[in-house]
């Protein structure tokens, strides 16, 4: 029989030694984490992100995957992997993908989904996976009607774009523009609308009169544009939901270049009379208008800042067209462009960080951007004739019209860095584009 | 006495095994497949693209169209290589709302931030916060900061007691492999300003042990910072998974700082 005291002593020793061993083991395991070696990584592989978008399961699944793939590829920030290379072709949305099969393809991310049509409703479940962390980054479900599958695909594209870049997407949007047909002397200019990817194009006017400078309201359900007929010009508001159209009123002289304020409650426009052109703004509720500029030069192309407190415009009051900014009541005018050449069509970015413009210099046209204070000017494009920039709602992509010598105008896009320049996915001839905000 | 020693030894071994086992289990990510369930469904109304096709009739009904300024050619054909949009027949559609995403409870970090209840402005707390977070001398990055970095591309800064014995060529190899796999978010506003310090540990077989972390930036509420952190973590995981790192860097804890400002030049 052992002495009870000795047993208690040994038990105590056991506990102490066990605790000591635990501390030792913990120390051994965490020791490397406390002794980290610091290195700097100052270069990277600045390439579009490789992403895999296999066909979703179910009806329209392949179509939805194709629309997503095209959207992401067109953004210039993603490099969709050719589906022919896929090892795992049917990726069940209810289980984890086989990550090694996607690592082999160097895919950084994977989008998979399932389409279900039940009771006349379309349900799309999709997931976004980080291949190397083997984590789900997104899992969303959209419900719509079967004919609305393209919009669901655009919404998924927006979600993927935002999750992987950190910026809002711009795929669930539309473009109004002037469709141009016929020769140079008998050009027919028709107001048209399409999805940002060129799908679902349709006319809004019949081409019997000239339409110019369509602009979206921030609500995206209303546009304003200018018409030109032999009897004169007019500015219209056009509600896309109700098809209701109305003129904003009669003005002595030629009215042109309308643009909504960010809240949609006002429209700024120009009135030309006797060779002098000034900027006016109309309150759409009261239908009262106020003249904002009164100098003898040509003041036009008014564009509100996102908060509605400022207006950018171009004026030749200094001798050649340059960009100016004023308060929205017409006070505090100051010039912001000072470069050589002619600056026109300023358009304030929806996020407020840049003003896009058209610049003509040295016989060439450019689309450029500058900070609202006139600094950091960058020319993004150069061609025979580039003009009419419009911002995507995320403020990172511009659409504009480009004309080569003797050719019809086409729609192009460029990102704010100027690196991603490509034709817009609309095969016809078009000019004067206006990008809608994200649809609701 | 001998039997007492035997009991004592068994207890110690069992205790060590038990505690060691718990710690190891906590560091292992188990590859078991988890069933995933889609999120709950919230029915929403639909907006139809067809609402835009009912516009010509309305436009024509409103006013009489007059002649064009330049002699128009009726039925002018579109250019062969450039199809123009075709007017579609009017199909009136009721206007409704667009499809909306439904949040999947399984999804990580996808939920939109809910608006926080507005608090009364606490000027004391605000000034204390500013005093704490903004050192004199200007703006600081929210990213973890390493030691002063030279203009040259890379430099290893081993901390006390570790990393010694890793050759310059091995360090260069590590950095080179990370550079090859790092895809910085240069095209995005703010993406080129992010510095991400990633911490990870390689075991002696070259596998990542435990978590690859970016000091919390991977969970940042700023989506650009979060995306940048995830890209840096992805570079580490990819390099480790491909066994492309020099053997000499195995068995060490590393803290590479991914500097987008330099990489995006």
Q: What value does the mean pLDDT take over residues B207-219?
A: 91
Best A39, A133, A207, A406 member to test B by mutation, with max B CBs in 10 Å, is A39
Q: To 10 degrees, the CA torsion angle through B40, B44, B49, B54?
A: 170
Question: What is the C-alpha end-to-end distance of chain A, expressed in Å?
Answer: 84
B187–A77 CB contact, under 8 Å: yes
- Burial of A185 by CB count in 10 Å (0-12 exposed, 13-18 middle, 19+ buried)? exposed
Short-list A386, A393, A389, A343, CA closest to A366: A386
- Which residues in chain A touch residue B23, judged by CB atoms under 8 angstroms apart? 25-26, 29
Closest Cβ–Cβ partner in B19, B67, B182 for A25? B19
Tens of each residue's pLDDT in chain A, 440 residues: 445 666 565 666 676 666 766 665 554 455 444 478 899 999 998 899 999 999 999 999 999 999 999 999 999 999 999 999 999 888 899 889 999 999 999 999 999 999 999 999 999 999 999 999 999 999 999 999 999 999 999 999 999 999 999 999 999 999 999 999 887 778 899 999 999 999 999 999 988 899 999 999 987 689 999 999 888 899 999 999 898 999 998 888 899 999 999 999 999 999 999 889 999 999 999 999 999 999 998 999 999 999 999 999 999 999 999 999 999 999 999 999 998 999 999 999 999 999 999 999 989 999 999 999 999 999 999 999 999 999 999 999 999 999 998 889 999 999 999 999 999 999 899 999 999 999 97
Q: In this structure, are residues A262 and A306 in contact, taking their beta carbons and an 8 Å threshold? A: yes
In angstroms, rounded to a whole number, what is the distance separating the alpha carbons of residues A320 and A360? 11
Phi, psi (degrees; rounded to nearest 5) at B156: -95, 140
Closest Cβ–Cβ partner in A37, A181, A395 for B84? A181
Cβ pairs bridging A and B (under 8 Å): 391
- CA closest to B102 among chain A residues: A141
Strand order of the sheet with strand A266-273?
A254-260, A266-273, A276-283, A288-291
- Which residues in chain A touch residue B189, judged by CB atoms under 8 angstroms apart? 167, 351, 353, 395-396, 416
User: DSSP state, A416?
Assistant: T
B65–A200 CB contact, under 8 Å: no
Q: In this structure, are residues B65 and A234 in contact, taking their beta carbons and an 8 Å threshold? A: no
How far, CA to CA in Å, does A16 sit from each of A43, B12, B17, B72? 51, 9, 15, 100
Angle CA B200–B110–B201, to nearest 5: 5
A130–B230 CB contact, under 8 Å: yes
Best A10, A18, A38, A41 member to test B by mutation, with max B CBs in 10 Å, is A41
Short-list B95, B94, B149, CA closest to B261: B149
Contacts for A350 with CB less than 8 Å, ≥ 6 apart: A306, A391, A393, A394, A395, A437
Q: How far is A22 from chain B (nearest CA, A)?
A: 6
Question: What is the C-alpha end-to-end distance of chain B, expressed in Å?
Answer: 74
pLDDT attached to residue B206: 87
Q: In this structure, are residues A413 and A397 in contact, taking their beta carbons and an 8 Å threshold? A: yes
Q: In this structure, are residues A74 and A422 in contact, taking their beta carbons and an 8 Å threshold? A: yes
pLDDT attached to residue B245: 86
Q: What is the DSSP string of A343-374?
A: EEEEEE-TTSS-EEEEEEETTEEEEEEE-TTS
Give Cα A301 distance to the centre of its chain.
21
Quote the radius of gyration of chain A (alpha carbons, Å).
29
Short-list A439, A440, A381, CA closest to A413: A381
Write out the H or E segment, with its range, that includes residue A256.
strand A254-260
Phi, psi (degrees; rounded to nearest 5) at B80: -55, -40
pLDDT attached to residue B184: 92
Q: How far is B166 from chain A (nearest CA, A)?
A: 10
In angstroms, rounded to a whole number, what is the distance separating the alpha carbons of residues A432 and A191? 10
In angstroms, rounded to a whole number, what is the distance separating the alpha carbons of residues A86 and A15? 57
In angstroms, rounded to a whole number, what is the distance separating the alpha carbons of residues A160 and A72? 9
Residues composing chain B: 265
User: DSSP state, A341?
Assistant: S
pLDDT attached to residue B252: 87
Q: In this structure, are residues A344 and A360 in contact, taking their beta carbons and an 8 Å threshold? A: yes
In angstroms, rounded to a whole number, what is the distance separating the alpha carbons of residues A172 and A166? 17
For strands A254-260 and A188-195, give the pairing.
unpaired
- Burial of A60 by CB count in 10 Å (0-12 exposed, 13-18 middle, 19+ buried)? buried
Short-list B236, B253, B239, B244, CA closest to B164: B253
Phi, psi (degrees; rounded to nearest 5) at B247: -60, -30
A167–B85 CB contact, under 8 Å: no
């Amino acid at each position: 029989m052992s002495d009870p005291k000795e047993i208690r002593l040994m038990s105590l020793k056991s506990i102490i030694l066990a605790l000591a061993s635990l501390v030792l083991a913990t120390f051994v395991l965490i020791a490397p984490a406390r002794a980290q070696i610091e290195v700097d990584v100052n270069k990277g592989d600045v390439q579009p992100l490789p992403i895999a978008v296999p066909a979703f399961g179910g009806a329209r699944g392949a179509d939805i995957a194709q629309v997503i793939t095209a959207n992401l590829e067109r953004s210039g920030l993603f490099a969709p992997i050719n589906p022919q290379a896929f090892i795992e072709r049917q990726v069940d949305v209810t289980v984890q993908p086989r990550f090694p099969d996607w690592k082999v393809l160097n895919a950084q991310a994977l989008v998979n989904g399932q389409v279900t049509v039940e009771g006349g409703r379309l349900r799309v479940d999709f997931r976004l996976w980080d291949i190397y962390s083997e984590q789900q980054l997104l899992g969303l479900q959209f419900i719509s009607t079967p004919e609305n599958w393209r919009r669901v695909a655009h919404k998924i594209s927006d979600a993927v774009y935002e999750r992987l870049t950190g910026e809002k997407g711009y795929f669930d949007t539309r473009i109004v523009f002037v469709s141009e047909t016929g020769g140079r002397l008998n050009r027919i200019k028709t107001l048209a609308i399409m999805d940002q990817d060129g799908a679902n194009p349709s006319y809004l006017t019949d081409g019997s009169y000239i339409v110019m400078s369509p602009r979206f309201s921030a609500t995206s359900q209303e546009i304003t544009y200018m018409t030109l007929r032999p009897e004169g010009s007019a500015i219209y508001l056009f509600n896309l939901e109700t098809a209701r159209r109305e003129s904003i009123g009669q003005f002595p002289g030629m009215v042109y270049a309308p643009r909504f304020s960010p809240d949609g409650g006002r429209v700024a426009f120009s009135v030309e009379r006797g060779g002098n052109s000034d900027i006016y703004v109309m309150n759409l509720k009261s239908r009262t208008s106020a003249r904002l500029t009164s100098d003898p030069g040509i003041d036009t192309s008014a564009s509100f800042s996102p908060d509605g407190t400022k207006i950018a415009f171009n004026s030749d009051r200094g001798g050649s067209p340059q960009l100016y900014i004023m308060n929205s009541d017409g006070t505090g005018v100051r010039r912001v462009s000072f470069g050589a050449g002619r600056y026109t069509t300023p358009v304030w970015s929806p996020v407020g960080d840049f003003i896009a413009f058209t610049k003509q210099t040295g016989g060439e046209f450019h689309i450029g951007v500058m900070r609202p204070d006139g600094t950091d000017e960058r020319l993004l494009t150069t061609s025979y004739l580039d003009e009419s920039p419009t911002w995507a709602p995320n403020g990172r992509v511009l659409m504009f019209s480009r004309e080569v010598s003797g050719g019809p105008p086409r729609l192009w896009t460029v990102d704010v860095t100027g690196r991603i320049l490509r034709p817009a996915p609309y095969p016809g001839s078009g000019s004067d584009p206006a990008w809608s905000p994200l649809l609701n | 006495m001998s039997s007492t020693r035997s009991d004592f030894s068994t207890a110690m071994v069992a205790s060590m095994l038990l505690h060691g086992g718990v710690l190891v289990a906590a560091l292992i990510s188990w590859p078991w497949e988890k069933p995933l369930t889609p999120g709950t469904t919230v029915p929403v109304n639909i907006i139809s693209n067809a609402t835009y096709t009912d516009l010509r009739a309305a436009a024509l009904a409103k006013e009489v169209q007059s002649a064009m300024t330049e002699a128009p050619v009726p039925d002018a054909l579109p250019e062969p290589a450039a199809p123009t949009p075709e007017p579609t027949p009017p199909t009136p559609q009721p206007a409704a709302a667009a499809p909306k995403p439904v949040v999947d409870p399984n999804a990580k970090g996808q939920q939109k931030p809910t608006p926080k209840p507005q608090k009364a402005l606490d000027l004391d707390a605000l000034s204390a916060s500013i005093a704490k977070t903004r050192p004199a001398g200007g703006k600081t990055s929210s990213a973890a900061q390493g030691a002063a970095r030279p203009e040259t591309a890379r430099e290893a800064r081993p901390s006390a007691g570790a990393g010694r014995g890793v050759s310059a060529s091995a360090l260069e190899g590590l950095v080179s492999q990370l550079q090859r796999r790092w895809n910085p978010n240069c095209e995005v506003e703010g993406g080129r300003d992010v510095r991400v310090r990633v911490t990870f540990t390689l075991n002696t077989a070259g596998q990542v042990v435990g978590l690859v972390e970016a000091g919390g930036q991977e969970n940042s509420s700023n989506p650009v910072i979060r995306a940048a952190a995830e890209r840096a973590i992805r570079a580490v995981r990819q390099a480790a998974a491909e066994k492309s790192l020099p053997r000499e860097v195995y068995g060490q804890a590393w803290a590479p700082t991914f500097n987008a400002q330099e990489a995006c030049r």
